[in-house]
Amino acid sequence: MPEQGNTGSDYIVGRHVFANLYGLDKEKLWDEQYLRSLVEEAVKRANASLVEMKSWRFGGKHGGVSVLALVIESHVAIHTWPEYEYATIDIYTCGERSDPWKAFEYMLNELKPKYYIVGYADRSSLYISRGGRAELAKTNPLQEVKHHY
């Protein structure tokens, strides 16, 4: 990942928010343009830098829409299954200046799931290299689950 996001640290900061959303509006989940706009705004809210955005619409029994935003800091993605009123969100950012939680909260508020399960992983480097030897930089990866009713 680029150096520009790691100001002030001698290790890599990586934060990964991922979620399953249930009880969503089927029309929103089929609306590719709406989902592209949602992801684009989520990128801005995360203070990330958009490189490119791609989207796909899949038909059939398990069809839906996928939107992927490649950002300098990593990625923001949503995958939908309208038939099941279900979607997954994946937001991974590297660097201290970007915040995946801001993107997640925005997407959550816009999509309004009946409930959701969210996970978080600290993807930061645990070791740094100093003069050819590795030292522990930080610890404490966190995993949490939240339910929203």
What positions carry a catalytic annotation?
74, 79, 94
Q: Give me the amino acid identity at 75.
A: H
**Cβ-proximal residues to 137 (8 Å cutoff; 6+ apart), any chain:** 10, 11, 124, 125, 126, 127, 128
Q: What is the 3-state secondary structure (H, E, C) of 6-21?
A: CCCCCCCCEEEEEEEE
Alpha-carbon distance 39 to 89, whole Å?
A: 10
CA atoms in the 13 A half-sphere facing the CB of 11: 16
CB distance 70 to 76 below 8 Å: no
